[in-house]
């Protein structure tokens, strides 16, 4: 039986306390001299017990599957031989068709959807793709933005995606996110400064300052009437006339 293999602990956990009396020995590992694996562990083998086989009580699992991508309802099926079952039988009986199975090509591997499958002699390996971490049978997304392994520019924002990330230059900078250069809004005319304000470029931004004779925040500037507010420098015997931004 598949669950009697020496390597079974890498794939399943046997819940001995849930096995009914007299059936425990059916879950013992076989001695190395008494077993030939021939193929990778096969959850869907016709020789694999179901997850509740020989249970003390309905609902208690005697076998817990470690690979969360496995359909536990298919484990313990007695409908037909799996590809691995058929291969093992051919090999054990010396059939001419005893050739290695390419699980990667056949799609019978247990690699995670975000892992690459590499066929080896009588087995295969699973390797998580870039942007994911795990053992290949289980792969989880790496958040490069959180762990600081992204290559975004210092003036770019990092957004995590499934298996990757996106770098976007912040406001006031242009580029592809991996390289960001300052935008000079004052030079290219994209600033929002008032017509009567001076624009000064800063790193990633700009400053608007109302010109002499005007008051405001630089985005809105209104004329100062020096004649009315008494800030003019006209002689005592001179008349003051206000002009736009001067007198």
Question: If residue 15 lies in a helix (H) or strand (E), which one and from where to where?
Answer: none
Residue whose pair of structure tokens reads 């870039």 in the numeric block: 130
Asked whether the beta carbons of 186 and 164 are under 8 A apart, the reply is no
Coil, helix or strand at residue 103: helix
Count of Cβ atoms closer than 10 Å to residue 51 Cβ: 20
Report the residue count for the chain: 247
Distance in angstroms (rounded) separating the CA atoms of residues 102 and 98? 12
Q: Does the annotation list 194 as a binding residue?
A: no
Query: CA dihedral in degrees (170, 174, 176, 180; nearest 10)?
Result: -70
From the CA atom positions of the chain, what is the Rg in Å?
37
Q: Binding site: what residues are annotated?
A: 1
Q: Binding site for Zn(2+): what residues are annotated?
A: 1
């Amino acid at each position: 039986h598949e669950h009697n293999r020496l390597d079974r602990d890498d794939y399943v956990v046997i819940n001995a306390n849930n096995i009914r009396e007299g059936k425990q020995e059916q879950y013992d590992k076989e001695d190395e001299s008494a077993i030939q694996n021939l193929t990778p562990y096969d959850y869907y083998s016709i020789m694999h017990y179901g997850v509740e086989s020989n249970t003390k009580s309905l609902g208690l699992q005697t076998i817990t599957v470690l690979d969360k991508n496995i359909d536990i309802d298919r484990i313990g099926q007695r409908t037909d031989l799996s590809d691995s079952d058929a291969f093992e039988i051919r090999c054990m009986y010396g059939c001419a068709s005893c050739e290695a199975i390419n699980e990667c090509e056949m799609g019978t591997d247990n690699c995670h959807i975000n892992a690459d499958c590499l066929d080896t002699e009588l087995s295969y390996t699973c390797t998580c793709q870039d942007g994911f971490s795990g053992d290949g049978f289980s792969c989880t997304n790496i958040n490069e933005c959180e762990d600081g392994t992204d290559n975004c520019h210092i003036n770019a924002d990092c957004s995590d995606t499934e298996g990757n990330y996106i770098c976007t230059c912040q406001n006031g900078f242009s580029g592809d996110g991996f390289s960001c250069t300052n935008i000079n809004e004052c030079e290219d005319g994209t600033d929002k400064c008032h017509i009567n304000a001076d624009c000064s470029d800063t790193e990633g931004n700009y400053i608007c300052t109302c010109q002499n004779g005007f008051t405001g925040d630089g985005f809105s500037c209104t004329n100062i009437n020096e004649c009315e507010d008494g800030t003019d420098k006209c002689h005592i015997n001179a008349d003051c006339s206000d002009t736009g931004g001067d007198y």
